[in-house]
Amino acid sequence: MVQVVEIYNIMIKGYKPYNPNQIYLFPPAPQDWLPKEHLVYFISDLVDHLDLTVIHKVYEKGIKGQPPYHPVLMTKILFYAYCR
């Protein structure tokens, strides 16, 4: 019995663009909209120092569908939501 193996052209899926300093999402810049002592800045700095390699490894295996949102972005949103 001959077994046929198909090889697919698999591309490694990236993430949707994430730029915390981008302009023109809502305000021209988040710094213009939020005060310096806002909770968002603390959470952003905190998450930037976390090791999220476990999450990255899970997403590296996925090959179907649209690119996911960046894990750093989603972690910041979840932390902020939990704090609120």
Helical pair 53-61 and 71-83, crossing angle rounded to 10 deg: 130
What residues make up the domain containing 69? 1-83
Q: For residue 48, what are the contacts with CB-CB under 8 A and spacing of at least 6?
A: 72
**What is the number of structural domains in the chain?**
1
Each residue's pLDDT expressed in tens, for the chain with a length of 84 residues: 545 444 444 555 678 788 877 766 565 677 778 898 999 999 999 999 999 999 888 877 767 777 788 899 999 999 999 999
How far apart CA 72 and CA 44 sit, in angstroms, is: 9
pLDDT at 79: 97
Note if the pTM is more than 0.75: no
How far apart CA 82 and CA 59 sit, in angstroms, is: 23
